[in-house]
A and B are shown apart, each in its own frame.
Chain A
Amino acid sequence: MLNKKAQTGMTMNQGLLIVRMMFMIFVSVSVVFLVFKFVALSVDVKPAEGNILLNRLISSPGCLAYTDLELNRSYPGIIDMARFNSSHLDDCIYFGESNDYAAANLTLLILGTGKLNTTYYNKDGYIILRPRAGLAGTGGVMLFKQKRYVLLKDGEDMKRALLTVELVLPGN
């Protein structure tokens, strides 16, 4: 049988062991947490992808860029007014029949006249996605906005214009 002093000492020892065990568990959990935090299984490419699609809308010969069919040469920076419509844009960046991947609103301000032309790439998708721009989480949408001075080829005329593109990509 232990005396009172020994009993007290033992109780203190036990208390310390419990604290020590708790500290050990805390350290272990912290190590696991840190390890998992630095394990990357994917890479976020949305910003790069948004810029690529935005530039593709403007500069691709299949999209808005004016193409001289006789020379088979396209001119990035010159917008062909005949192509500035939704059906052409939907065909030039084609994610399939159901596009829930990207959408855009394009506004063309013709300088000097103040005339505005607006068209959409994937209009239905844009109407759904645009209000969610900037929201955090998986339901959020990433918005890319770019203004660019362009030349506008409207028939035989060449005009100066300011093109504003708002592209939305779902997912943050």
Chain B
Amino acid sequence: MMLLKRGVFRGRRAQTEHEAMWTIAEMVFFSIFLITLMLFARSAWRNTTFEKNYLARDMAMTLNTLYMSPQRLTFSYPYNASKYNMLYQGSVVRVGDAESKNKKTDRIYWFADEKWRRLDYMLSRIESPSLILYLITPSEKLVIISDNNNGIISPGGG
């Protein structure tokens, strides 16, 4: 066979060697494939993009809902968000990793203020196990309070 004559595998032994090489190539391919898959699984496990996206959206919708309150309201947020920084900038909730300073990985979502009754307190860090309390005060300013061990840390403005 011309193909074999030109190749490195010649003679009767060559057939066995040739098949062995194919098997080895397959094993190498599968090993690389499995290692890549494991590395991907590891990075997916460490990745917090979904949590940040979820948290930003949930916070934004929570704020949208709180503006609907007909009267003074107290709300405790039931999600442990101690791993994340949260920031309210304009009409945007920004959620980032607490341990990372890389702003590129932050996730944002939009909520609507009222033009004459807006957030006047910016929440930077929520300690674990924490609750966030939202109050709509009689002075009609929406205040966000971070609550740690049932003790009010900072009441913000209002």
Segment of B78-86, B111-119, B120-128, B147-155 in the binding face: B111-119
Chain A residues near B64 (CB, 8 Å)? 49, 52-53, 56
Q: Is the CB of B19 within 8 A of A13?
A: yes
Q: Is the CB of A24 within 8 A of B15?
A: no
Assembled-state Cα–Cα distance A92/B115 (Å): 6
The one of B15, B50, B70, B91 that contacts A95, using a Cβ cutoff of 8 Å: B91
Chain B residues near A45 (CB, 8 Å)? 57, 61
The one of A39, A49, A60, A73 that contacts B68, using a Cβ cutoff of 8 Å: A60
Assembled-state Cα–Cα distance A13/B19 (Å): 8
Q: Which residue of B lies closest to A57 (CB)?
A: B68
Chain A residues near B4 (CB, 8 Å)? 2, 7, 10
Min C-beta distance of A68 to chain B, whole Å = 11
Chain B residues near A124 (CB, 8 Å)? none
Q: Which residue of B lies closest to A17 (CB)?
A: B22
The one of B1, B37, B53, B138 that contacts A41, using a Cβ cutoff of 8 Å: B53
> What are 13 pairs between A and B in contact, CB < 8 Å?
A2-B1, A2-B4, A14-B18, A17-B22, A35-B37, A42-B49, A45-B57, A49-B61, A56-B68, A73-B70, A74-B70, A90-B115, A94-B112
Assembled-state Cα–Cα distance A42/B44 (Å): 13
Number of A-B contacts (CB under 8 A): 106
The one of A11, A42, A60, A102 that contacts B67, using a Cβ cutoff of 8 Å: A60
Binding site for A on B (CB under 8 A): 1, 3-4, 11-12, 15, 18-19, 22, 26, 29-30, 33, 37, 40, 44, 47, 49-50, 53-54, 57, 60-61, 64-65, 67-71, 90-91, 110, 112-118, 138
Q: Is the CB of B114 within 8 A of A28?
A: no
Q: Is the CB of B44 within 8 A of A31?
A: no
The one of B26, B60, B115, B138 that contacts A94, using a Cβ cutoff of 8 Å: B115
Min C-beta distance of A58 to chain B, whole Å = 9
Assembled-state Cα–Cα distance A10/B2 (Å): 12
Chain A residues near B15 (CB, 8 Å)? 2, 6, 10, 13
Q: Is the CB of B113 within 8 A of A94?
A: yes
Q: Is the CB of B114 within 8 A of A94?
A: yes
The one of B37, B54, B57, B114 that contacts A92, using a Cβ cutoff of 8 Å: B114
Chain B residues near A118 (CB, 8 Å)? none
Q: Is the CB of B70 within 8 A of A61?
A: yes
Mark A36-66 against chain B: 1 for CB-CB distance below 8 A, else 0.
0001111101001100110110011110010
A91, CB-defined interface residue at 8 Å: yes
Assembled-state Cα–Cα distance A45/B71 (Å): 26
Chain A residues near B22 (CB, 8 Å)? 17, 21
